[in-house]
Chains A and B, each alone.
Chain A
Amino acid sequence: GQQVMQIPQYQHVQEGEDFTTYCNSSTTLSNIQWYKQRPGGHPVFLIQLVKSGEVKKQKRLTFQFGEAKKNSSLHITATQTTDVGTYFCAGRRGYSTLTFGKGTMLLVSP
């Protein structure tokens, strides 16, 4: 079945440092979504990427979808303590259900 691998599993940064999480699929995706889950909270949708090579920005967050539509990344510039949480990617083939990666837990020290 479809697998979505996400690395790293965990990252601890100092406030102001950058952070990147990577997502790789075993199959070509029709789209990929990113979610953020704060500690003790529920996943919240951040963005969806659909096109090959697509790049989208949300303030300090930059999302990329690979040319082959099998990988994606989320980059946070100058992290803040409010960025703490677990970031999940979720890939979809065609009209199937989403397959979630295991997430990257981000800790930010002030």
Chain B
Amino acid sequence: NAGVTQTPKFRVLKTGQSMTLLCAQDMNHEYMYWYRQDPGMGLRLIHYSVGEGTTAKGEVPDGYNVSRLKKQNFLLGLESAAPSQTSVYFCASSYSTGTMNTGELFFGEGSRLTVL
């Protein structure tokens, strides 16, 4: 099993450009998440999804959009990139957070985005 796969792994954008990060998981997880990681800031939740066709805002959603058209895929879009969006982006997935399982997160390897 590949687990959680993110593409691309690296990308450089100019201010105002748009792009989409793709996350794919092969574990049949219901929940998927997009985090950003900045030095000294830990992991901050951007958006998440509790199932196919659903999305919800996290802690820092501004400037990002997401879609979950298929259960295994979760897309993160930047419509007009800004330098403040320079970061490492992690996708994660988990089983439901019910009491019958741990709800642990499985992370992808990350996508490093630089906006000039």
Contact = CB atoms under 8 A, between A and B. Distances in A.
Interface of A: 1, 6, 9, 31, 33, 35, 41-45, 48, 88, 90, 92, 95, 97-103
A48 B48 contact: no
Contacts of B58: 97
B90 A33 contact: no
A43 B104 contact: no
Contacts of B110: 42
Q: Is the interface of B mostly helix, strand, loop or mixed?
A: loop
Contacts of A88: 42-43
Contacts, number: 53
B41 A44 contact: no
Interface string B89-112: 010100001100011111111100
Interface string B70-84: 000000000000000
23 contacts: A1-B59, A9-B40, A33-B102, A33-B103, A41-B109, A42-B90, A42-B109, A42-B110, A43-B92, A43-B105, A43-B107, A45-B102, A45-B105, A48-B103, A48-B104, A88-B42, A90-B43, A95-B98, A100-B35, A100-B42, A100-B43, A100-B44, A102-B42
